[in-house]
Amino acid sequence: MLVVQKYGGTSVGDLERIESVAKRVSKAKEAGNDIVVVVSAMSGETNKLVGYAEHFSQTPSAREMDILLSSGERVTSALLAIALTEMGHPAMAMTGRQAGIYTDEVHTKARINSIDNRAMKEALDKGKIVILAGFQGITESGSVTTLGRGGSDLSAVAVAGALDADLCEIYTDVDGIYTTDPRIEPKAKKIEKISYDEMLEFASLGAKVLQNRSVELAKKLNVNLVTRSSFNDNEGTLITKEENIMEQPIVSGIAVDKNQARITLRGVSDKPGIAAEIFKTLAQNNINVDMIIQNVGEDSSTNLGFTVPENELERAKEIMLQLNASENLEFDRDIAKVSIVGVGMKSHSGVASRAFETLAAENINIEMISTSEIKISMVVAEKYSELAVRALHSAYEMDQ
Amino acid sequence: MLVVQKYGGTSVGDLERIESVAKRVSKAKEAGNDIVVVVSAMSGETNKLVGYAEHFSQTPSAREMDILLSSGERVTSALLAIALTEMGHPAMAMTGRQAGIYTDEVHTKARINSIDNRAMKEALDKGKIVILAGFQGITESGSVTTLGRGGSDLSAVAVAGALDADLCEIYTDVDGIYTTDPRIEPKAKKIEKISYDEMLEFASLGAKVLQNRSVELAKKLNVNLVTRSSFNDNEGTLITKEENIMEQPIVSGIAVDKNQARITLRGVSDKPGIAAEIFKTLAQNNINVDMIIQNVGEDSSTNLGFTVPENELERAKEIMLQLNASENLEFDRDIAKVSIVGVGMKSHSGVASRAFETLAAENINIEMISTSEIKISMVVAEKYSELAVRALHSAYEMDQ
């Protein structure tokens, strides 16, 4: 089996952690697998380098930032290769360039264009473990690039795709994906398998284990992605295509996002173009609008409600006040968005009504609703959000 | 004028020092020069990385060590480029690969084979300051290499040669080359100009400012080398070809090396091959023999004396005891080698005799003598060595 393993910053945070990663990689190699390891910089290194650069300039050149920032992953890859070779498993460190990771020219946020997998294949054919410095690539013209936040995950997924790997394991400091936040519902269970689309919903709902960029790439390249912990031997969560999941539960998980705020605009005259102008202006100011609800109001006017991230509320306020009279505007920070996610919804009716009944039984008022094919999001008062999660977790029998 | 400036580890030891280097480079640029800067890793960084590697292996793979060790210079080059650009002097960081520094395949001790100067020239033509990560290059097959101890100096000299630069300034924490160690002779003067050959003698006599590898390359490429301090604005010492030095003093400087020990072998039978066997065995054991004197002894035997570095004496002792009966062997740690260096000796007679007279007048016994075209070395008792230096410094009027 060809396995790509990716270890994040905390997993290679110091020499002892790198040693422990080396042991884990050895074990996978001794089990008869071919291994490509993708590593991040030791935790804290990248922030340190960014701090150095900011000492000199608030707008450092992106090309130079990439030469700077790509150095941390090189260090980790060399050290892990040295550790593995010492353990009797010859390993070869590769920079993004040496591994053939070609990107576009957008420094600090480059996208992978193609991977020339020959050098990696040659090393694997010789029985070597390949240790790739993650987060980095090279342009056709030879500039060093980095892939932006979550870039090492992207490197791992892209390499797994390019090598047609059987598995791409993303190691972090958490065990995998849970049916909901275990701090809210202690009965939350680790999900064994989840589809790409469900994972995408979870990630956009704030689950921080994997970024959507990586999941989207895994889906596109059909890479079996596992997220698991490098601090224990627990099985993780497999993210794969829907067809690979035999017994799909109706609801896979429940997410809650408390960092939401709501803006309500009352008595908008019900003519075309008003909403368009509001959302265009917000978008131009980089405000991320999430849910949008428009209700029929009195006469020929409507009420328009939408949510934004809480930390963008102040800026959104300013913009809205410039566009509208303040008497029509309401702002509410004390809301939360509770979402249930599951591909089973596509084929089962009554999923939404059970959610509404469950919250009604707890006397929780649902203030906004938005649905997609595999997700139902409900805005409730923030103080009821944890109760809502627990009630829904139980209603869909996710603790079974 | 095209100037290559090289800054060593202490000169870029922290962010404030890098800022100060940036100001110095700015000044040179504002004076109308084209500038290529070669930087070392921030002081301590390379040792830290070596320590990390040694945590995992006493014999880390040289290829991986080079990926590891080359990262420190990349960081400095990016930071300095960012600092200069912020100061209004657009600068471009270049790795060894990007600057076209091609080396052989000998990892951790590579030699520069050729430099493809096109990328540097293109950046200079655009008015940019080039900031080259020193100490590193790349093989034809794309492996990262490092150049070994003193490698950044070598990078600077090689680049100065490849770009036909007018000057190559090596910045360290000392002002330049002195007529002798100012801690021994406070009247020591900084040398304004010195020839490559004299500098080579000084370096092999223990002057630590420049390694012979760099001076030899400067001589070969006819690079005008200046060694000066990055901590003040004092003029440094120009190392150049003999023809460029109009008023050559007879003696340029006096060096003293106290880290010498002498081994004397009495009563060696005077037949061919005995000395050869001794020195072959020592060489095989990596003992650096320096001066060798063979005197006629009694009958058909001779006395053989030679010096080795003091820290290699114990190993040399063991080897000599295996080769010879111990009663014939003497060891002396308390010696020092005092050397006078000057190309003027070639054309002036009486230089040596003045040295011998000077020491005789101070009642200092000369225990061994060895001469080259431009150097006279004398072994004296260590306790007299500083007196010898001061007496010679005065005898050759070097304090004038």
In this predicted structure, what is the pLDDT of residue B387?
A: 96
In this predicted structure, what is the pLDDT of residue B144?
A: 97
In this predicted structure, what is the pLDDT of residue A227?
A: 95
Q: In the structure encoding, which two tokens stand for residue B389, read together?
A: 């230096």
Contact A19 B71 (CB under 8 A): no
Examine residue A210 and state whether it is found in any structural domain, yes or no.
no
* pLDDT class of A277 with cuts at 50, 70, 90: confident
Mode of pairing for the β-strands spanning A129-133 and A91-94 = parallel
What ranges make up the beta strands (E) of chain A? 2-7, 34-39, 91-94, 101-103, 112-115, 129-133, 136-138, 144-146, 167-172, 193-195, 225-229, 237-240, 253-269, 292-296, 301-309, 329-341, 368-372, 375-381
Q: Kindly identify which residue of chain B lies nearest to residue A143, measuring between CA atoms.
A: B98
- CA A348: distance to chain centroid? 27
* pLDDT class of A203 with cuts at 50, 70, 90: confident
ipTM reported for the complex surpasses 0.90? no
Beta-bridge mates of residue B228: B171
List, for residues B25-83, the tens digit of each pLDDT value.
999 999 999 999 999 999 999 999 999 999 999 999 999 999 999 999 999 999 999 99
Please state the pTM of the whole predicted model. Answer: 0.87
State the average pLDDT over residues A47-51.
96
Do A276 and A140 belong together in one domain? no
Examine residue A77 and state whether it is found in any structural domain, yes or no.
yes
In this predicted structure, what is the pLDDT of residue A274?
A: 78
Contact A56 B83 (CB under 8 A): yes
Do B161 and B13 belong together in one domain? yes
Examine residue A211 and state whether it is found in any structural domain, yes or no.
no
Q: Which residues of A touch B37 (CB under 8 A)?
A: none
Examine residue A194 and state whether it is found in any structural domain, yes or no.
no
Among A15, A57, A74, beta carbon nearest to B67: A74
Q: Chain A: give the shortest CA distance to residue B28, in Å.
A: 19
CB neighbours (10 Å) of residue A395? 18
Last residue of a domain, one of A173, A206, A236: A173
Q: Which residues of A touch B61 (CB under 8 A)?
A: 81-82, 85
Gap between the Cα atoms of B224 and B213, Å rounded:
15
Do A147 and A42 belong together in one domain? yes
SS3 label, residue B46: helix
List, for residues A362-397, the tens digit of each pLDDT value.
999 999 998 888 999 999 999 999 999 999 999 999
Gap between the Cα atoms of B34 and B91, Å rounded:
11
The structure tokens 């995992």 sit at B56
Inter-residue contact B241 to B196 (CB < 8 Å): yes
Q: Kindly identify which residue of chain B lies nearest to residue A61, measuring between CA atoms.
A: B82
Q: Which residue has the higher pLDDT, A97 or A267?
A: A97
Q: For an interface test with A, which of B39, B54, B75 has the most A Cβ atoms less than 10 Å from its Cβ?
A: B75
Which CATH number characterizes residue B298's domain? 3.30.2130.10
Provide residues of B within 8 Å CB-CB of chain A.
15, 18-19, 22, 49, 52-53, 55-57, 59-61, 63-65, 67-68, 70-72, 74-75, 77-79, 81-83, 85-86, 92-93, 95, 97-98, 133, 142-144
In this predicted structure, what is the pLDDT of residue A245?
A: 87
Gap between the Cα atoms of A108 and A106, Å rounded:
7
Q: In the structure encoding, which two tokens stand for residue A366, read together?
A: 């649902």
Q: Which residue has the higher pLDDT, A204 or B63?
A: B63
SS3 label, residue B218: helix
Q: For an interface test with B, which of A45, A61, A70, A85 has the most B Cβ atoms less than 10 Å from its Cβ?
A: A61
In this predicted structure, what is the pLDDT of residue B206?
A: 64
* pLDDT class of A325 with cuts at 50, 70, 90: low
CB neighbours (10 Å) of residue B77? 32
- CA B296: distance to chain centroid? 36
Contact B74 A67 (CB under 8 A): yes
pLDDT above 70 for A40: yes
pLDDT above 80 for A8: yes
How many domains is chain B built from?
Answer: 2
Q: Chain A: give the shortest CA distance to residue B161, in Å.
A: 24
Do B41 and B149 belong together in one domain? yes
Mode of pairing for the β-strands spanning A253-269 and A292-296 = unpaired
3-state helix, strand, coil in chain A (%, to 5): 40, 30, 35
Examine residue B348 and state whether it is found in any structural domain, yes or no.
yes
Any alpha helices (H) in B127-194, and if so which ranges?
A: 151-162
List, for residues A214-253, the tens digit of each pLDDT value.
999 999 999 999 999 999 999 999 999 998 887 778 899 9
Residue numbers of the domain that contains B21: 2-173
Residue count (chain B)? 400
Gap between the Cα atoms of B56 and A15, Å rounded:
8
Last residue of a domain, one of A118, A145, A173: A173
Phi, psi of B243 (to 5 degrees): -65, -25
Contact A61 B67 (CB under 8 A): no
Q: Chain B: give the shortest CA distance to residue A169, in Å.
A: 24
3-state helix, strand, coil in chain B (%, to 5): 40, 30, 35
* Sign of the C-alpha dihedral computed for residues A220, A221, A222 and A226 taken in this order: negative
In this predicted structure, what is the pLDDT of residue B331?
A: 93
List, for residues A156-184, the tens digit of each pLDDT value.
999 999 999 999 999 998 899 999 999 99
Q: Which residues of A touch B108 (CB under 8 A)?
A: none
Examine residue B193 and state whether it is found in any structural domain, yes or no.
no
Inter-residue contact B170 to B153 (CB < 8 Å): yes
Q: In the structure encoding, which two tokens stand for residue B168, read together?
A: 């190559």
Provide residues of A within 8 Å CB-CB of chain B.
15, 18-19, 22, 49, 52-53, 55-57, 59-61, 63-65, 67-68, 70-72, 74-75, 77-79, 81-83, 85-86, 92-93, 95, 97-98, 133, 142-144
SS3 label, residue A345: helix
pLDDT along chain B (400 residues), means of 10: 96 96 98 98 95 96 97 97 98 98 96 97 98 97 94 97 98 92 93 94 76 94 96 94 85 92 84 81 90 77 88 92 81 94 86 93 93 92 96 92
Mode of pairing for the β-strands spanning A136-138 and A34-39 = unpaired
Do B261 and B380 belong together in one domain? yes
Among the residue ranges A280-284, A309-313, A327-331, the one predicted with the least confidence is A327-331
Do A269 and A126 belong together in one domain? no
Q: In the structure encoding, which two tokens stand for residue B329, read together?
A: 């062997």
- CA B279: distance to chain centroid? 25
State the average pLDDT over residues A123-132.
98
Do A259 and A159 belong together in one domain? no
DSSP B375-392: EEEEEEEGGGHHHHHHHH
pLDDT above 70 for A206: no
Q: Chain A: give the shortest CA distance to residue B158, in Å.
A: 22
**Nearest Cα to Cα of residue A225 among A235, A208, A237, A233:** A237
CA atoms within 13 A on the CB side of A333: 7
Do A13 and A155 belong together in one domain? yes
Any alpha helices (H) in A126-195, and if so which ranges?
A: 151-162
Sorted by sequence, the CB contacts under 8 Å of residue B236 that are 6+ apart come out as: B169, B175, B176, B190, B226, B227, B228, B229
Do A62 and A167 belong together in one domain? yes
The structure tokens 């005898």 sit at B395
Do A164 and A16 belong together in one domain? yes
B387: exposed, middle or buried (Cβ count in 10 Å: 0-12, 13-18, 19+): middle
Residue count (chain A)? 400
Which CATH number characterizes residue B74's domain? 3.40.1160.10
Q: Which long-range contacts (CB under 8 A, 24 or more apart) does B350-355 make?
A: B351/B250, B351/B251, B351/B376, B352/B376, B354/B395, B354/B396, B355/B392, B355/B395
A60: exposed, middle or buried (Cβ count in 10 Å: 0-12, 13-18, 19+): buried
List, for residues A129-162, the tens digit of each pLDDT value.
999 999 999 999 999 999 998 899 999 999 999 9
Q: Which residues of A touch B93 (CB under 8 A)?
A: 63-64, 67
Q: Which residues of A touch B63 (CB under 8 A)?
A: 92-93
Q: In the structure encoding, which two tokens stand for residue B319, read together?
A: 């080897």
Q: Which residues of B touch A83 (CB under 8 A)?
A: 56-57
Q: Which residues of A touch B51 (CB under 8 A)?
A: none
In this predicted structure, what is the pLDDT of residue A371?
A: 87
Last residue of a domain, one of B117, B141, B173: B173
Examine residue B272 and state whether it is found in any structural domain, yes or no.
yes
Do A152 and A264 belong together in one domain? no
Examine residue A391 and state whether it is found in any structural domain, yes or no.
yes
